[in-house]
Amino acid sequence: MCGIAGFFNSTHHSGDTDLLCRMLGSISYRGPDAAGVYIDDYAALGHVRLSIIDLAGGDQPISNEDGTVWITYNGEIYNYPELRKELEKKGHRFSTKTDTEVLVHLYEEEGTEFLQRLNGQWAFALWDTVRRRLFISRDRVGIRPLFYTHSKGHFFFASEIKALFAIPEIERAIDHHALDQIFTLWTTLPESTFFKGIIELPPGHYLIADERGVTTGTYWENPLYPRDEWFSCSPDRMSGELRELLIDAVKIRLRADVPVGTYLSGGLDSSGITAIVAKQFNRDVQTFGIRFSEERFDEGEHQRAMVDFLGVHHREISAGYDAIADSFCRVIYHCEKPVLRTSPAPLYLLASLVRDSGIKVVLTGEGADEFHGGYDIFKEALVRSFWGRCPGSSIRGKLLERLYPDVFRDDRTRKVAASFFGRDIESFNDPCYSHRIRWNNTARIKTFFSEATRAAIGTYDCFQELRETLPAHFDKSHLLQRAQHLEIAMFMSNYLLSSQGDRMGMAHSIEVRMPYLDHRLIEYAGKVPPWFKICGLHEKHLLKKALAPFLPPAVTGRVKHPYRAPIHKSLLALAASAAGKELLDRRMLQEAGMFNGVKVQALLSKLRKTEMASETDSMAIAGILSAQSLWHDFIKKNPGTAALKLTPDRVIDRRSTGE
């Protein structure tokens, strides 16, 4: 994988190579193997490379035969060999063996419509020197990041925000509406970032910048198929077809000129991917897993069972409280947005183990839960809807006791839990029905906002803005489809794939690949009837059936164990450190201006006195510490200008000024 950066100016203006090299220097960890720049009178493209395919000949930026089209690209196009053969038959000549060069020739052949042909994960910027047009795109679900901003007639883009902050005139300020979104919805809405004026290109979108200005468009949307397009064939046939698609998705994601490993947690999703790799393609695959000292988080027993079952070469790290505390601020530096969990930290540590083991690429299990009905919140929504159709029933609500036995422990907790889950159970027309009670509960942590933050947010309503992003036919979809769409569009694309995916891997120059997010699998899953995804209270019913030939019954029959990491004790350890004390110091809190210092100190005192913190208090301390860390590293300081200016290995200078 790689990092990209660049800029465009519609009027004749010689670019600044030093500026581009500072932008690249701030994200050099994304591509430690090589660096290159292209610059002319109107545009500049920069690239730092993590070499995966065509190790010797794939340095970027890359052009077509006559140098009229150039590209800087972060990603992998898995069907590039097939596309290349088509293009060669049409007379296109290639100078490298990379997937990158395929994009340039596809653009020559098909124009901007070629995005539909791609199977992969990407963020790229393509410069058409003849049309003086910058064409930018991001993959369908947002596996690879891409940000942009405008300043003084210039358009700037980069893989990460810190590269944009290498530009001196770019304002560095908190977007308080985005802060409100995060402390309600767990993440930002599409396009929004934690920083004012910095825009994230949404998944499935493209952008064109030329002399007429900047326009964006959509080339793909998460499918919400109507009932008449759902499959009517047998579960056996569906599971067989799903299995074949998944095997091929894994197969093409093993295309690399370096070894490819896998993450192995012991759960269904990662075990399924690893089993397909080991049984179909590479018996000697290296696998990597996380262990926790706290039993309720640990899946070591299940990891070891899968390692023994498959006979793979496995390594693991232990993510204890101190390790999470020590890495948390570095994790947030790479996330570039506040988080309400510590979950990214163990994955940051795991990526370090992968790097130290000499592996550059790993396959992971992200996407299976979202598209195949794996989360409890999906089952919860279905149960609440069933209960809501007969709210006076004394039996229907008891299904939630089977779903959450740890919550409904005794008469007191049953009463409290029933009141919590029974809130608004008849509000079927609420587009946020599946997530509303969770998001309303999360919003309680906004009590820690300062008066200045409350004033800056004003009457802004993030739920109203969320409703405006939903597809036109959203309200006509099945409840499970609506719940899945919210989870995919909000949490998966805007948080999971970045904060727990790309960012944690690339912090250690590791590329993550996600077979379950192959668009063919996504579109197939979209046509599976909801009752074959969740059968009764059994999640991922069809996926388990599809994976059954590869896995032992102990895995396919096990109830999902959600990936979590310890928050309370980990962040208390951070708060007790010199770095944590500085971030939570009342003067620092007042200077940052986001949070009420008195309330924050009261929260810390409360957390120190309890053995088991509530979910609300845990989310609050995670959000406060991560937001303060970002303010300190990105606003009080500036990571972009502090980065060393990179010296590129390759420079293509086509400026008429001769600079």
User: Residues 208-237: pLDDT tens digits?
Assistant: 999 999 999 999 999 999 999 999 999 999
CA distance 204 to 42: 27
- Lookup result for tokens 């993030």: 462
Is-contact 638 631, C-beta < 8 A?
no
Q: What is the pLDDT of residue 101?
A: 96
Task: Extract the residue ranges of the chain whose pLDDT is less than 50.
Answer: 659
Catalytic residues: 2
Residue 349, SS3? helix
- Bridge pairing between strands 154-158 and 147-151: antiparallel
Q: What is the pLDDT of residue 422?
A: 85
Q: What is the pLDDT of residue 416?
A: 80
What's the Cα-to-Cα distance from 142 to each of 153, 260, 263, 389, rounded to whole Å? Answer: 27, 22, 20, 37
Tell me the β-bridge partners of 46.
5, 37
% pLDDT > 90, the chain: 86
Angle at 334 between CA 331 and CA 340, to 5 degrees: 55
Q: Which domains does the chain have, with CATH numbers?
A: 2-220 (3.60.20.10), 227-371+487-529 (3.40.50.620), 568-637 (no CATH)
Q: What is the pLDDT of residue 151?
A: 85
Q: What is the pTM for the complete model shown?
A: 0.96
Is-contact 18 166, C-beta < 8 A?
no
CB atoms within 10 A of CB 645: 16
CB atoms within 10 A of CB 223: 16
Cis peptide before 61 (omega within 30 of 0): yes
User: Residues 359-371: pLDDT tens digits?
Assistant: 999 999 999 999 9
Q: How many CA atoms lie within 13 A of 580 on its CB side?
A: 21
% pLDDT > 70, the chain: 98
